[in-house]
Amino acid sequence: MRRNMAPLAVLVLAATPTAVSAQTMTVQSLLENGYTVAGITTSQAGGASIFLQKGKALVFCFAAETPTSPTVATKYCKPVN
């Protein structure tokens, strides 16, 4: 039984940094890391959907503002598979 769980544990540990880095990505940090804007669309919820690309890696980010916010802020970014 333990031998069968070892590959699963490796997969879980390998997937964890991706989830954490996805939570800390911002449009600004991606641009600073060499990503370029590949496309922008508006959202029905307000804000902007931004696609950033570096080589074959594509990331989707959502940015929005409120009337009282000092900046347009990245709400989240996710890798596109």
Rounding to the nearest 10 degrees, give the CA dihedral for residues 38, 43, 46, 49.
-20
pLDDT at 21 > cutoff 70: no
Domain range list for the chain: 2-79
pLDDT grade, residue 20 (50/70/90)?
very low
Reading across the β-sheet that carries 36-42, which strands appear in turn?
36-42, 48-54, 57-64, 73-79
- C-alpha 62/C-alpha 26 separation (Å) is 9
The better pLDDT of the pair 15, 27 is held by: 27
pLDDT at 14 > cutoff 70: no
* 24 token code pair: 């800390």
Radius of gyration of the CA atoms of the chain, in A: 16
Least confident of 12-21, 41-50, 52-61, 66-75: 12-21
pLDDT at 30 > cutoff 80: yes
Please report where in the chains the tokens 């804000």 appear, as a residue.
Answer: 47
